[in-house]
Structure 1
Amino acid sequence: MRIEQQLQKVLAASRKLNMVQDSKIVAVLQELANQARANSEFILTENKKDLDRMDANDPKFDRLKLTTDRIEGIASDIENVASLPSPVGTVLKETERPNGLKISKITVPFGVIGIIYEARPNVTFDVFALCLKSGNACVLKGGSDAIYSNQAIVSIIQKVLKKFDLDENMVSLLPAGREETNEMLRAHGYIDLIIPRGSQGLINFVRENATIPVIETGAGICHTYFDKFGDAEKGREIIFNAKTRRVSVCNALDCLVIHESRLNELVSFAQKLSEEKVVIYADEPSFKKIKDVYPAELLFPATEESFGTEFLSMKMSIKTVDCINDAIEHINKHSSKHSEAIISEDNDRIQLFRKMVDASSVYSNTSTAYTDGAQFGLGAEIGISTQKLHARGPMALEELCSYKWIIEGNGQVRPK
């Protein structure tokens, strides 16, 4: 009953939000960015309580960790969201029927959006900013790993809301227990949409147990194919960046697929990767090519489990293919439909790759590390959808809206 009462307050707050002008929402978000900076010491102190409870070797540790620079980045993202046009009230289509009826299709908020996520406290800021800007209240269900960080961030958000005489229940953080998760997944009439962010296990659990609509933000099993006609210098830098820039995020490279005619280039790629002590699981042809130049303690023969794995660490696999069709087949077999890339100077092969690879984001001659709402010019993201219904890829303001039909008449009645 306690959770239901909390959800009732969020639902009431979401209805009040329908009447809030965008200019006020902009002011709230600008102040929130300021308060994130001003309270960085408090946020970091609470974040350290969470970090102290987690093994530093856990792949989730880097996602959990906040720093002054990361808080500054979060504040900048909030300001970016504030500066974007409101997605609400956009006329998508309008027509006048022969009987004089004027029919319009316009964007509207979903209402209440529920987010279930693991050890990523930055999501708390991002989700609130995107939901508020798109006219949605939000129910947050963070994991126990980040409980202190999330509580601190929500307390700052609610203080800002109260400063502007807005209902603090426009954002609500549920307790971290499993029982609360189950209640959230069955919250008919209170929550309009659930978006899970986290491991494949979390996403599967939400999909299998939710009785309200879900948009999946799937795991990122990301490939880069170095083609027969790939540029070696570009390839070396792109592969290094995609793998090592930040290994704990979903757009990091997991598997390099390489054309057999370019195995000689693998030596320079591997030498670059060894600078960051990347562990490589190589298939037989690639293993033979680099075994004499790559540190033995970092190189292992690939197994079937080496492919289709999201490593979230300084690990990756290598698969050798003899044609682009085999590369595409391998990628489609093991992909999570997140982000896939080709490195090639042959436009026909790039076009083939774009058409045949089934993923939400398909790259040519650049790093998959760019799959990110801010990098796509969306301000921030609420998640990266790997499904095809409603939204795909980075989800931001537009994807947090549904639509309604508005019909204007002047006394028309439908004939029998």
Structure 2
Amino acid sequence: MEFRDQAIAARAAAVELATLRRSQKDAALNAMADSLAAAESELLEANAVDVARAREAGTEESIVDRLSLNPDRIRGMVQGLRDLAALPDPVGDVVRGWKLGNGVSVTQVRVPFGVVGIIYEARPNVTADAAGICLKSGNAALLRGSSSALQTNRVTVEALRRGLKDAGVTEDAVHLIEGDRDATTELMRARGLVDVLIPRGGAGLIQAVVDGSTVPVIETGTGNCHIYVDADADVDQALAILLNAKTQRPSVCNAAETLLVHSAAAPDFLPRALSALRQAGVTVHGDSATAGYGEGVVPARPDEYDAEYLTLDLAAKVVGSMDEALQHIREHTTGHSETIVTRSRSAADRFVAEVDAAAVLVNASSRFVDGGEFGFGAEIGISTQKLHARGPMGLQEMTSSKYVVEGDGQVRS
């Protein structure tokens, strides 16, 4: 099916989806989960083809990791759909309401966007997550995954559409957009057919969509996430948070990329941290002060403090004050997730107040900045912009609103 035909079919499906009861949507989500689980072997076979092709092309291992599926990751995709079914339906929620002096009532209610386009890179789990979130929030989804995950995405979407059919819901709620770059351009220029576009991937993809789209864009961002170890930090706590944030899954956007250590904490913290990071296979790119506390520190180039490595690499710097730490974050942040480790309430409060990011963490790993961890079920992405949605985007963030005005014949004088 050509893109325009898919978009027209999705637009018709969006009318049906907007009026589905919660019970119908939940039944469809569970049927999609059942169908995806049943397709596990087929999914793994298709994914093996994609992964082998990526490795043959010399793709970076961090990207191969994001592309790869295994039984646990497939179970996570299936559970994400079931978790969405268990969440409240946002459509029809009353945001606010009031009555005018003349007796006219005004109510603001949540409504679906309509047709949502999602452009994303090498993350097959996004295919299931995005389809499920769009369905539960009453939207039709046009999914444009990268060519590197084509075989996996085909099998995933086929399974999801079988589940929709089994539940008696239109299969046109989910479409996979294939084809060359022209198909991406068509999606970005389909104003009037597509209501909102969400890019999810690296900085280059996001910027290309923002610059080239005539469809309104919700911008997701890259993650140069900082950990600031304050003068009053608990060293054991700081070490545990650092290792989790950097090494638990380094290829994702909420992994730590830059470590800032107050000079008062450095003598106790950095020798242990550098040793632990080295044992975990992390290469630290640091300033001369950092290098003085341990072996194997690679001199950091200035541009590395802007890096989103997505690998077992970490930029590090010793700072002389909290002021210096805050200034460094202001100059280098991508606005994703920023962390302070401290036992000082006043330091924590100041950090929260002054750091401009979608998520600010106090004594917790940045790996928690995730829709599933927040209790949203799956997520569509993490928005780093300030309009409409900011942070992990779950069901509520995938709706707009409209005003319903009810009267009894009143006219304006």
**Could you say whether these structures have the same fold, taking a TM-score greater than 0.5 normalized by the shorter chain as the test?**
yes
Aligned to 2:363: 365
Q: Distance in 1 between matches of 2:337 and 2:180?
A: 32
Counterpart contact for 2:342–2:363, Cα < 8 Å: yes
The CA deviation at 1:11 is 0.3
Q: Distance in 2 between matches of 1:279 and 1:29?
A: 42
Aligned to 1:23: 23
Q: Distance in 2 between matches of 1:341 and 1:13?
A: 42
The CA deviation at 1:34 is 2.0
Aligned to 1:379: 377
Does 1:65 find its partner at 2:63? no
Counterpart contact for 1:142–1:176, Cα < 8 Å: no
Q: Distance in 2 between matches of 1:392 and 1:308?
A: 21
Counterpart contact for 1:112–1:191, Cα < 8 Å: yes
Give 1:289's match in structure 2, choosing from 290, 293, 300: 293
Letter aligned with residue 189 of structure 1: G
Counterpart contact for 1:141–1:176, Cα < 8 Å: no
Aligned to 1:214: 217
Q: Distance in 1 between matches of 2:46 and 2:207?
A: 30
Counterpart contact for 1:185–1:210, Cα < 8 Å: yes
Letter aligned with residue 282 of structure 1: G
Runs of 4+ in 1 over 3 A off after TM superposition: none
The CA deviation at 1:252 is 0.5
Does 1:252 find its partner at 2:250? no
Aligned to 2:105: 102
Give 2:395's match in structure 1, choosing from 389, 394, 397: 397
The CA deviation at 1:64 is 0.4
Aligned 1:71-150 pairs, distance under 5 A: 71-150=74-153
Question: SS at the partner of 1:59?
Answer: helix
The CA deviation at 1:2 is 2.8
Does 1:356 find its partner at 2:319? no
The CA deviation at 1:48 is 0.7
Aligned to 1:162: 165
The CA deviation at 1:19 is 2.4
Letter aligned with residue 388 of structure 1: K
Q: TM-score, normalised by structure 1?
A: 0.96
Aligned to 1:54: 54
Aligned to 1:409: 407
Q: Distance in 1 between matches of 2:172 and 2:79?
A: 24
The CA deviation at 1:58 is 3.0
Letter aligned with residue 43 of structure 2: I
The one-character-per-residue Cα deviations of 1:298-342 (angstroms, maximum 9, x if unpaired) are: x31011021010000000110111000110110111110000000
Does 1:34 find its partner at 2:34? yes
Q: Distance in 1 between matches of 2:103 and 2:302?
A: 64
Aligned to 2:302: 304
Letter aligned with residue 331 of structure 1: I
Q: Distance in 2 between matches of 1:359 and 1:29?
A: 33
Q: Distance in 1 between matches of 2:171 and 2:404?
A: 31
Question: SS at the partner of 2:338?
Answer: strand
Counterpart contact for 2:31–2:163, Cα < 8 Å: yes
The count of corresponding residues between Structure 1 and Structure 2 is: 409
Question: SS at the partner of 2:16?
Answer: helix
Bigger shift: residues 100-109 or 30-39 = 30-39
Does 1:273 find its partner at 2:277? yes
Q: Distance in 1 between matches of 2:403 and 2:107?
A: 6
Give 1:235's match in structure 2, choosing from 230, 234, 238: 238
Unmatched runs of 5 consecutive residues or more in structure 2:
none
Q: Distance in 2 between matches of 1:167 and 1:86?
A: 19
Q: Distance in 1 between matches of 2:74 and 2:166?
A: 22
Q: Distance in 2 between matches of 1:236 and 1:19?
A: 50
Counterpart contact for 1:103–1:405, Cα < 8 Å: yes
Letter aligned with residue 389 of structure 2: A
The one-character-per-residue Cα deviations of 1:215-256 (angstroms, maximum 9, x if unpaired) are: 111001100000100010001111011000001100001000
Percent identity of equivalent pairs: 40
Aligned to 1:315: 313
The CA deviation at 1:177 is 1.8
Bigger shift: residues 167-176 or 213-222 = 167-176
Q: Distance in 1 between matches of 2:158 and 2:33?
A: 14
Give 1:325's match in structure 2, choosing from 323, 326, 340: 323
Q: Distance in 2 between matches of 1:73 and 1:5?
A: 32
Give 1:188's match in structure 2, choosing from 187, 191, 200: 191
Letter aligned with residue 12 of structure 2: A
Q: Distance in 2 between matches of 1:28 and 1:95?
A: 35
Question: SS at the partner of 1:169?
Answer: helix
